Amino acid sequence: MLQVSNLNVYYGESHILRNVDMSIPSGQMVCLIGRNGVGKTTLLKTIMGLLKSRTGEILFTGKPISKIATDRRVRMGIGYVPQGREIIPRVTVKENLLLGLEARPQGRKGNEAIPEEIFALFPVLKTMLSRMGGDLSGGQQQQLAIARALMGKPRLLVLDEPTEGIQPSIILEIEAAVKRIIAATGISVLLVEQHLHFVRQADKYYAMQKGGIVASGSTSELSQEIIQEFLAV
């Protein structure tokens, strides 16, 4: 689904990503782990086109996308749930969800209804449709952000720390929702996560250190040392 090869990304003169290689097979869930500040978000932003890579190539469903603008990448089928959620603050929850429709390949057509599956996954949202996005709690915003990404029917879902700063009961809800999404749609997922329980849901992991991938493999063989070294727990 997604191949990243030999990616080098800089912020100004500081070298953040170093020769990153990674691949997400179709229909699989891949988890990216690493301590704070190693460059996980930077990698995701580069995949979305928010940052430019100096060298390297990104292939999505076999097509090179490095030169394609962010909004077109999204319409090709990449749904993004950023770190910090980035809900549009002074727009209602319903409008935030409708904005998710923009990601459909043909764009948004008129006022479509919000599908029931979204509310089945996140029942809280149904009662909050007319609230401002910025007024929701962190957990609700996170659920809204995932729901919004799903509105566009993506083929690859990119989640950046969806459980960061969220109370434990909601973490479990979000985890369960992601599992149900994968079971129902067969979507591929790229997840950045710090909670071991959630990491173990993935098929494959990549571990990052100082801007490079230093370990990878199946999550079933995640050893205690790797967990000690790369998870901030």
Partner 1 sequence: MSALIEGLFNGISIGSVLLIAALGLAIVFGLMGVINLAHGELMMLGAYTTFVVQNVFKPLGEPWFELYILFSLPVAFIVSALFGLALERGVIRFLYGRPLETLLATWGVSLILRQFVRSVNWLLVISIAVFCLCFFGGMAILKRLSHWERIRNWAITILLFISSAISIALGFLIDRVGTLALTKPWFSARNVDVTAPTWLRGGWKILGFQMPYARLFIIALTIICLLGVYWFLNRSTWGLRIRAVTQNRSMSACLGIPTAKVDALTFALGSGLAGVAGCAVSLLGSVGPNTGQNYIVDTFMVVVVGGVGNLFGTVVAGLSIGIINYLIGSGTLALIFTSTESLKPLVDFFLFFATSSMAKVMVFAIIITFLQVKPAGLFPQKGRTAEL
Q: Residue 35, interface with Mg ion (CB under 5 A)?
A: no
Q: Scanning residues 85 to 114, which ones bind partner 1 (CB under 8 A)?
A: 86, 88-91, 95, 98-100, 102-104, 107-108, 110-111
Task: Report residue 173 as tokens.
Answer: 């809800």
> Measuring CA to CA, which residue among 89, 150, 146 is closest to residue 114?
150
Q: Which of 22, 29, 30, 40 binds ligand ADP (CB under 6 A)?
A: 40
CB atoms near residue 121 (< 10 Å) = 20
Among ligand ADP, partner 1, Mg ion, none, residue 162 binds (CB under 5-8 Å by kind): none
Q: Are 30 and 205 in contact (CB under 8 A)?
A: yes
- Helix 168-185 and helix 138-151: axis angle, to 10°? 10
Buried b (16+ CB within 10 A) or exposed e, 42-73: bbbbbbbbebebeebebebeeeebbebeeeeb
Per-residue binding string, partner 1, 146-185, x by CB under 8 A, is: --x---x---------------------------------
Tell me how far, at minimum, the Cβ of 93 lies from partner 1, in Å.
13
| Interaction site with partner 1 (CB under 8 A) | 48-50, 69-71, 74-75, 80, 82, 86, 88-91, 95, 98-100, 102-104, 107-108, 110-111, 134, 148, 152
| Interaction site with ligand ADP (CB under 6 A) | 11, 16, 34, 36-42
